Amino acid sequence: MRLTVCFLASLLVPSNLTAQEGDTRQIGRWHHTSKIDPITDANVSEAFTIDDDQRWYLGFGCADGDLMVIVAPTVPSENLRRTWSETMTWRVDRNEPVSEKWILVAQGLALQAEGATRLAEAMMQGEERIALRFGRTAQEHTLVLSLDGAREAIGAMNACN
């Protein structure tokens, strides 16, 4: 069954996370949601976490049959958006940093297909944290998010097919 997810819009704000029908489970610092889409009857699942300050969201879902990840502020801001760049550097635990181009979308920065799969696999193998850095030189944003529960939450997602 093909998953179609509007997680970019539906899961951005933490208050929306609990407002959706379906099963939402907290696994460590991560959450996993699963529900049936009322239009397509597809099983839709996502995995996500929010930083300690509840300012940033990192979530996995499916878009057009491919795994997708998005990093976005929990409260959209046009001023904040102007500081973003399309280059994201991420590092899981003490592994080598990875820098790659992400897609600038209305809600944040997104990575799709092989890149998202590579990130998900690295996070599922990680033990402690993921660090992400993006932005323009004068205003870089660095997020450090716990991987506690990431392996189970991401692993519980339905395949993107």
Picking from 130, 7, 116, 5, the residue whose alpha carbon sits closest to that of residue 68 is: 116
Count how many domains the chain has.
1
Alpha-carbon 18 to chain mean position? 17
100 near 86, Cβ under 8 Å?
no
Over the stretch 5-26, which tens digit does the pLDDT of each residue have? 334 334 333 433 333 457 899 9
Over the stretch 49-86, which tens digit does the pLDDT of each residue have? 999 999 999 999 987 778 999 999 999 888 777 778 88
Structural domain containing residue 49: 7-155
Over the stretch 77-112, which tens digit does the pLDDT of each residue have? 887 777 788 899 999 999 999 999 999 888 899 999
**CATH number of 56's domain:** 2.60.40.1880
What predicted TM-score, i.e. pTM, was given to this entire model? 0.82
- Asked, for residue 44, whether it belongs to a domain, the answer is yes
- Asked, for residue 1, whether it belongs to a domain, the answer is no
1, 46, 70, 74, 132 from 147: Cα distances, Å: 29, 16, 16, 19, 13
